Structure formats: structure tokens, C-alpha cells
């Protein structure tokens, strides 16, 4: 039984255009042309219990819109969805007590008060027992290394510290499903890394089903076995991150360093040359010819070093987004 | 119940941090009241009554009326508009708590502390004018007065909620809330007692909810209304509460369907 079931979900937004300037503003006071944009088009997918799925896509792809529908913030234009057996936009208390959403760009913590005050408020709203509350806060604060800042006004915290507090606030009621919308946005490299480690550990320990959106490839690579790639509101790929490479890439990348200069034309006899300086060359070699080509280069040229690599996932995904076909 | 109490105490904790705002706010109000008192004292020079009011009654009208308006006001519209416009509402709609109830308690928390401070300073002024103040001892009148004030708070709260909810469609609510605020000041008897005005005007005011946040309860306090008239007033308040509540249900259902949770 899947925890999250999404079927033909669509969301249209209404908007209007206004040319710049005062005159256009005056005109728009009387007449506005309504336009529609489809943020999410007819998407379907399911997520099983305990899965950590990455939602990957460029800005405006429909990632956040999807999460907002699954958490009941938005009503869809059409389609169905069920999370833990509930229709999210009915906003049933029973459902709301079992999930949480963390939005990297919105905070639920009270800006003027220490994070602890917000935690206590959440504790009461979600009716978390005292003992569980204490245990969760202590445990999470320890894990995230923020025990000493829980009594400091939230607005005095750094972005990284604040995100950690946001995460604790969202996890107090031990949600079964967690939606993370850009949890690492704006964080420095070290904080990003810490956040990732935490999410990973939490998912493994608690078996919480997590749906995470990000446009940082690193997040997804570090955390998710499965990715859903979404672009212009449509799902381009849904499956294992590793299978993505098998599916879209038919070649490997060979990087050779020579001890003496080598001519580009000579190398082009074997395979397409991507880069070539006299002492270094990068070649794209079809999978089935890798061994043969590598052996040939080693015997023919004065090779100092040779590396055989997979095509980076970033490149694969960039290709999916730029070609726009699945 | 505990969750609501926590919301209130959290609001207090927040309000105490902004101690300067509380004091600053109160200063302006004091000026307004003192100004009204000076005005009436001047107008009463050389005459005993104006429209059936003695100077004592008029001073009581200003002081008690302002006390009522302090207790019944709220700051919901601004906060709600901002929450809808900036998308902060998203945080509340995903939580197992009803937004209307949540903000009601939050506003109680928000107004209660400034209220206490206003109350203290207001009582201070009343003590200065103690000799001029009309103090009645009818318990029933006073009980009715308290009920009316509590209902007035609810009515004002519901109106603010409805104005705030228009942000689902218009994003901004300043214009509407300013218009209604002015209308309210005038129709509630906040500038001067409605008794000075033509009968038709009073009739219209009494059918609308605003007079019950200033004029009517103050009249009740002054015992210028009979108990029966007071009860009738409370009846009208109940009708307004029911009506506004229905509107809120409808507007909220439609509004949250439009809500897009945009912004940062």
C-alpha cells in the first residue's frame, strides 16, 4: 500500500500581465486580461513507506506546487491525491497530525521569540505528550548541534541555525510523512552537508517517508535513491538515480594525460574528442568500446595516466532539461 | 484548551519584548481622550446640560466609552492580510488547528496586555476625574454591560476577519479597512454621543453593529437605557454574530480555494 498516491494531478494558476509604466497601470485599473499557466500538468506517481524521494527540477518546474497540494495548502485544478489515505486539501486534523512540511523560504518560528517558545506552541497544537516533547527536542538539538541557541531570539540566528530550528519544529510530532521544500537553500556548503547528513540519518532511523525538492544536485545525489525529475509541470523521469545514467547515457568519459604532446587528429580516429591540449585529452567513448579504445591508447601513445568515468549526473539532467524530451 | 492558553502566553511573551510599542501606542490614545475631555469641558461652560447630558455624564461617556473601545478592538486585519499576501498563511493551514479559532485566541493574547496597560492608565485618568465620574451600582446593568462588551469584541473580531479575508481576492485591504474604520468611529459614537444626532441616524446606527462597541454599552452603564433596551441590544448583537459567522464560513471556504501560498 503506497503512502503517497498521486493521479493526474493538475494545477492552473491565474495571472495577468501589465506592461511597465504608469499609463499601462492606469489601463490595467479598468481592464485586465486573465491568463492561465499550468504549473503542474497531469502528473502521477506513488511513494512507498520509508522512501526518500528527490523532486528535481529547475525554478518554476512545479516542484513546490506539487508539495503544496500534497500538504493541503493548495486545491488542485483537477486530479486526485491521497497521502496516508487522506485527501490532503480536505485538511483533516487526523492527516495534519501525521505530516509536516518545511519550506526553506518560509518560517513558522516566531521571529521575535526564541525557538523554544515556538516549539512549545507546536507541542500544544499537535498535542505532543511532555515526555515525548522533551526527548525529541533534546535528541534533535543534540544531533543538529544547536542546544545552546534554543533560547536566543530567532531573528538573531544565522540562516543555518534557523533552518535547523525549523526542522525541529516540524519534527516534534514525529510525522510519518515529511515534505522538505528546498531545505538547503541559501545555506553554506558546510551547513548544507550537515543538513543532508541529518535528513539521511533521520530517514533511516525513523523510517519517515520523505519527499524532498531541491535544485541542488548534491542534495539529491547524497540523499535519494529515487528521483522524480519534473520540468514545465511534467514528469520527465521517475526512477532510480543510478538507472538514470544507464537510460540516458551510452558512453563513458576517458581522460588521458600524456608524457609527450599528442595531435588531436590522431585521437579523433578512435572516438569523438571533447577537449584536447597537447598533454591532455578528454574522449567520449561508447560503452561497448571502452576497453578496446583504452587498450589501444595505452599501447599507441606515451600515456602518463588514464581515467575512465561515468558521465556526471548533472550533465545528464541538464541534457534532459535542455532537450525537453524524455 | 491548553493549546489556546499557550497561544496567549506566547503572544504575551512577544508583546513584552516590544515594550516600547506598548507605551508609544498608549501615549497617542491618552492625548485623544484628554483632548475630548477639554473639548467637552469647554462646551459645557455656562450650561448645565447638553442633549440631556450633564458634564459628569459626558465625561463618563468619553472615559467609559474609550475603555470599551480599547477592550473591543483588535489588530487582526493587518496581520491576516499580510499572512495571506505573503503566503505565511500556508504555515497555519497545514496545522491541526482551525485558523479562525487560532487567530481569535491570538488576538485575545495580543490585545490583552496592551489592554491591561491601557486599563491602568485609564483608571489613572478616571481617578483624576473621580469627582466628575458617574458611578452606578446596579448589578444587572453592569452584568449586561459586560456581556455586551464581550459580544462587541467578537463582532469587531469577525468584521476584521472578513476584511482580512478579502485579501484572498484583492491582496491588499488597507482601503476597505480604513473606510470601515472611519464609518465605525462615526457610527459607534466614538467622536460624540449619538444622542446629539437626528432620530433616523440613531436608528440606522442601532441596526448596525458598530454602536455596540461604544455608544450602547456606555448608555447602559450610564443607565440611560432600560434593562429591556439593553437586552434588545444584545439580541441585535447575537443576530450580527450569527450573520458574520456565516459570512466567514462562506468567504473562508471560497478564499482558501483561491489561495496560492505565494511569496517568500
Contact B93 A72 (CB under 8 A): yes
Whether A135 is covered by a domain: the verdict is yes
B254 CB contacts (<8 Å, ≥6 apart)?
B168
Whether A44 is covered by a domain: the verdict is yes
Nine-digit cell at A65?
A: 506546487
Higher-scoring residue by pLDDT: A162, A216: A162
Nine-digit cell at A51?
A: 522512501
Contact A73 B259 (CB under 8 A): yes
Distances (CA, A) of B255 to A101, A315, B77: 22, 43, 15
Are A227 and A260 members of one domain? no
CA nearest A187: which of A211, A166, A204? A166
B6, B91, B94: residue with CB nearest A72: B94
Q: How many C-alpha atoms does A248 have within 13 Å on its Cβ side?
A: 26
Mean pLDDT on A296-305: 89
* Number of domains present in the structure of chain A: 2
**Pairing state of beta strands A209-214 and A226-231?**
unpaired
pLDDT(B188) > 90: no
Give the span between the Cα atoms of A119 and A168, in whole angstroms. 8
Average pLDDT, whole number, for chain A?
A: 88
Are A89 and A227 members of one domain? yes
Count of pairs with CB atoms under 8 A, one residue in A, one in B: 69
pLDDT score recorded for residue B183:
87
The ipTM value here is 0.77
User: Within the 122-181 window of chain B, which residues sit less than 8 Å (CB to CB) from chain A?
Assistant: none
Contact A74 B260 (CB under 8 A): yes
Domain boundary among A197, A218, A245: A245
| Contact indicator for B56, B30 with CB cutoff of 8 Å | no
Nearest residue on chain A to B2, alpha-carbon basis: A124
Range scoring the smallest mean pLDDT among A90-94, A95-99, A320-324: A320-324
Higher-scoring residue by pLDDT: B114, B8: B8
The three-point CA angle B221-B159-B103 to 5° equals: 100
Are A147 and A261 members of one domain? no
Mean pLDDT on B208-228: 89
Question: Touching check for B97 and chain A: CB below 8 Å?
Answer: yes
Whole-prediction pTM value? 0.81
Which of A68, A78, A90, A133 to mutate to test binding with chain B, by most B CBs within 10 Å of its CB? A68
* Secondary structure letter of residue B148 according to DSSP: H
Question: Using CA atoms in the order A263, A269, A273, A278, what is the torsion angle rounded to 10 degrees?
Answer: -10
Domain boundary among A229, A245, A261: A245
Our measurement of the distance from residue A230's CA atom to the centroid of its chain's CA atoms, rounded to an integer in Å, reads: 10
Nearest residue on chain B to A105, alpha-carbon basis: B264
Nine-digit cell at A309?
A: 568515468
Contact A74 B259 (CB under 8 A): yes
B5, B96, B260: residue with CB nearest A126: B96
Tell me the chain B residues in contact with residue A107 when contact means C-beta distances shorter than 8 Å: 91
The three-point CA angle B184-B188-B194 to 5° equals: 135
CA nearest B161: which of B251, B53, B45? B251
Are A282 and A164 members of one domain? no
Are A50 and A169 members of one domain? yes
Mean pLDDT on A41-65: 90
Whether A122 is covered by a domain: the verdict is yes
Whether A326 is covered by a domain: the verdict is no
Mean pLDDT on B190-211: 86
Mean pLDDT on A189-217: 88
Mean pLDDT on A150-164: 90
Q: How many C-alpha atoms does A221 have within 13 Å on its Cβ side?
A: 11
Contact B90 A127 (CB under 8 A): no
**Pairing state of beta strands A177-181 and A209-214?**
parallel
pLDDT score recorded for residue B264:
44
**In degrees rounded to 5, what are phi and psi of residue B98?**
-80, 130
User: Within the 8-27 window of chain A, which residues sit less than 8 Å (CB to CB) from chain B?
Assistant: 13
CA nearest B213: which of B187, B246, B244? B187
Are A120 and A264 members of one domain? no
Nine-digit cell at B215?
A: 455608544
CATH of the domain at A140: 3.40.50.300
pLDDT score recorded for residue A326:
43
Tell me the chain B residues in contact with residue A106 when contact means C-beta distances shorter than 8 Å: 87-88, 90-91, 264
Tell me the chain A residues in contact with residue B7 when contact means C-beta distances shorter than 8 Å: 121, 124
Which of B88, B89, B96 to mutate to test binding with chain A, by most A CBs within 10 Å of its CB? B96
Are A289 and A231 members of one domain? no
Are A259 and A134 members of one domain? no
Element (H, E) at A45: strand A34-47
Give the span between the Cα atoms of A153 and A155, in whole angstroms. 6
pLDDT score recorded for residue B263:
56
Query: 3-state class of B206 per DSSP?
Result: helix
Mean pLDDT on A116-131: 92
Contact B10 A121 (CB under 8 A): yes
Give the span between the Cα atoms of A311 and B217, in whole angstroms. 78
Nine-digit cell at B245?
A: 459567522
Nearest residue on chain B to A111, alpha-carbon basis: B14
Contact A110 B14 (CB under 8 A): yes
Are A286 and A202 members of one domain? no
User: Within the 34-93 window of chain A, which residues sit less than 8 Å (CB to CB) from chain B?
Assistant: 68, 71-75, 91, 93
**In degrees rounded to 5, what are phi and psi of residue B156?**
-60, -40
pLDDT score recorded for residue B22:
67
Return the domain boundaries, chain B: 2-258
Element (H, E) at A242: helix A241-248
Are A257 and A173 members of one domain? no
User: Within the 6-25 window of chain B, which residues sit less than 8 Å (CB to CB) from chain A?
Assistant: 6-7, 10, 13-14, 17-18
Question: Touching check for A130 and chain B: CB below 8 Å?
Answer: no
pLDDT(A40) > 60: yes
Mean pLDDT on A223-243: 89
Contact B94 A121 (CB under 8 A): no
CA nearest A174: which of A91, A100, A237? A100
pLDDT in tens, B95-153: 998 899 999 988 888 778 777 877 787 778 878 877 777 777 788 888 999 999 999 99
Give the span between the Cα atoms of A273 and B52, in whole angstroms. 102
* CA-based nearest distance A213→chain B, Å: 16
**In degrees rounded to 5, what are phi and psi of residue A210?**
-125, 130
Whether A219 is covered by a domain: the verdict is yes
Query: 3-state class of A227 per DSSP?
Result: strand
- Band (pLDDT 50/70/90 cuts) for residue B23 is confident
CB contact burial B206-235 (16+ within 10 A = b; e otherwise): beebbbbbbbbbbbbbbbbbeeeebeebbe
Higher-scoring residue by pLDDT: A136, A31: A136
Question: Touching check for B253 and chain A: CB below 8 Å?
Answer: no
Residue numbers of the domain that contains A225: 4-245
* CA-based nearest distance A189→chain B, Å: 22
Average pLDDT, whole number, for chain B?
A: 86
User: Within the 93-112 window of chain A, which residues sit less than 8 Å (CB to CB) from chain B?
Assistant: 93, 96-97, 99-101, 103, 105-108, 110, 112
Are A215 and A277 members of one domain? no
Mean pLDDT on A232-243: 89
Contact B260 A13 (CB under 8 A): yes
Whether A323 is covered by a domain: the verdict is no
Query: Sign of dihedral through CA atoms A257, A258, A259, A262?
Result: negative
Whether A314 is covered by a domain: the verdict is no
Give the span between the Cα atoms of B184 and B190, in whole angstroms. 8
CATH of the domain at A302: 3.30.70
Contact B264 A106 (CB under 8 A): yes
Nearest residue on chain A to B257, alpha-carbon basis: A75
Element (H, E) at A100: strand A99-103
Are A200 and A293 members of one domain? no
pLDDT in tens, B65-101: 888 888 888 888 988 999 898 888 888 889 998 899 9
Alpha-helical regions (H) of chain B: 2-17, 19-43, 55-72, 76-85, 89-93, 99-128, 139-165, 167-170, 174-187, 199-207, 215-221, 227-258
Whether A223 is covered by a domain: the verdict is yes
B2 CB contacts (<8 Å, ≥6 apart)?
A124
Amino acid at each position: 500500500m503506497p503512502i503517497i498516491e498521486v493521479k493526474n494531478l493538475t494545477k492552473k494558476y491565474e495571472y495577468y500581465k501589465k506592461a511597465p509604466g504608469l499609463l499601462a497601470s492606469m489601463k490595467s485599473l479598468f481592464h485586465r486580461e486573465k491568463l492561465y499557466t499550468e504549473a503542474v500538468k497531469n502528473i502521477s506517481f506513488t511513494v512507498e513507506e520509508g522512501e526518500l524521494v528527490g523532486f528535481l527540477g529547475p525554478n518554476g518546474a512545479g516542484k513546490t506546487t506539487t508539495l503544496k497540494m500534497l500538504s493541503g495548502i493548495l486545491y488542485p485544478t483537477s486530479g486526485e491525491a491521497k497521502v496516508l489515505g487522506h485527501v490532503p486539501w480536505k485538511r483533516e486534523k487526523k492527516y495534519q497530525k501525521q505530516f509536516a512540511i518545511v519550506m526553506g523560504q518560509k518560517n513558522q518560528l516566531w521571529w521575535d521569540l526564541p525557538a523554544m517558545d515556538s516549539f512549545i506552541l507546536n507541542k500544544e497544537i499537535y498535542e505532543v505528550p511532555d515526555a515525548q516533547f522533551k526527548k525529541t527536542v533534546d535528541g534533535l538539538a543534540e544531533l543538529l548541534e544547536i542546544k545552546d541557541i534554543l533560547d536566543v531570539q530567532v531573528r538573531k540566528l544565522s540562516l543555518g541555525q534557523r533552518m535547523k530550528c525549523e526542522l525541529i519544529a516540524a519534527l516534534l510530532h514525529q510525522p510519518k510523512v515529511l515534505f522538505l521544500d528546498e531545505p538547503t537553500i541559501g545555506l553554506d556548503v558546510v551547513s548544507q552537508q550537515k543538513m543532508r547528513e541529518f535528513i539521511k540519518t533521520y530517514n533511516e532511523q525513523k523510517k519517515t517517508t520523505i519527499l524532498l525538492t531541491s535544485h541542488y544536485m548534491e542534495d539529491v545525489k547524497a540523499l535519494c535513491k529515487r528521483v522524480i525529475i519534473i520540468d514545465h509541470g511534467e514528469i520527465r523521469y521517475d526512477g532510480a538515480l543510478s538507472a538514470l545514467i544507464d537510460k540516458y547515457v551510452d558512453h563513458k568519459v576517458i581522460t588521458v594525460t600524456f608524457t609527450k604532446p599528442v595531435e588531436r587528429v590522431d585521437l579523433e580516429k578512435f572516438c569523438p574528442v571533447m577537449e584536447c591540449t597537447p598533454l591532455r585529452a578528454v574522449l567520449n567513448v561508447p560503452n561497448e568500446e571502452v576497453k578496446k579504445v583504452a587498450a589501444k591508447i595505452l599501447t599507441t601513445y606515451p600515456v602518463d595516466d588514464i581515467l575512465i568515468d561515468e558521465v556526471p549526473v548533472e550533465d545528464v539532467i541538464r541534457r534532459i532539461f535542455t532537450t525537453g524530451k524524455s | 484548551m491548553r493549546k489556546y492558553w499557550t497561544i496567549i502566553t506566547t503572544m504575551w511573551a512577544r508583546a513584552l519584548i516590544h515594550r516600547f510599542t506598548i507605551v508609544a501606542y498608549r501615549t497617542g490614545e491618552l492625548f485623544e481622550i484628554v483632548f475630548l475631555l477639554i473639548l467637552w469641558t469647554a462646551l459645557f461652560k455656562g450650561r448645565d446640560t447638553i442633549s440631556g447630558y450633564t458634564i459628569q455624564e459626558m465625561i463618563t461617556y468619553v472615559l467609559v466609552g474609550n475603555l470599551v473601545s480599547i477592550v473591543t478592538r483588535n489588530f487582526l486585519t493587518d496581520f491576516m492580510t499580510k499572512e495571506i499576501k505573503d503566503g505565511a498563511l500556508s504555515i497555519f493551514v497545514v496545522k491541526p488547528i482551525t485558523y479562525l479559532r487560532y487567530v481569535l485566541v491570538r488576538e485575545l493574547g495580543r490585545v490583552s496586555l496592551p489592554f491591561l496597560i491601557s486599563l491602568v492608565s485609564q483608571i489613572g485618568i478616571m481617578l483624576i476625574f473621580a469627582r466628575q465620574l458617574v458611578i452606578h451600582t446596579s448589578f444587572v446593568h453592569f452584568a449586561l454591560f459586560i456581556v455586551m462588551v464581550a459580544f462587541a469584541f467578537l463582532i469587531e473580531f469577525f468584521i476584521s476577519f472578513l476584511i482580512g479575508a478579502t485579501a484572498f481576492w484583492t491582496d491588499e485591504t488597507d482601503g476597505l479597512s480604513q473606510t470601515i474604520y472611519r464609518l465605525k468611529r462615526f457610527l459607534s459614537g466614538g467622536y460624540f454621543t449619538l444622542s446629539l444626532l437626528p432620530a433616523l441616524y440613531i436608528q440606522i446606527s442601532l441596526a448596525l453593529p458598530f454602536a455596540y462597541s461604544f455608544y450602547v454599552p456606555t448608555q447602559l452603564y450610564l443607565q440611560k437605557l432600560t434593562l429591556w433596551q439593553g437586552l434588545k441590544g444584545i439580541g441585535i448583537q447575537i443576530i450580527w454574530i450569527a450573520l458574520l459567522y456565516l459570512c466567514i464560513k462562506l468567504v473562508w471556504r471560497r478564499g482558501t480555494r483561491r489561495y496560492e501560498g505565494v511569496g517568500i
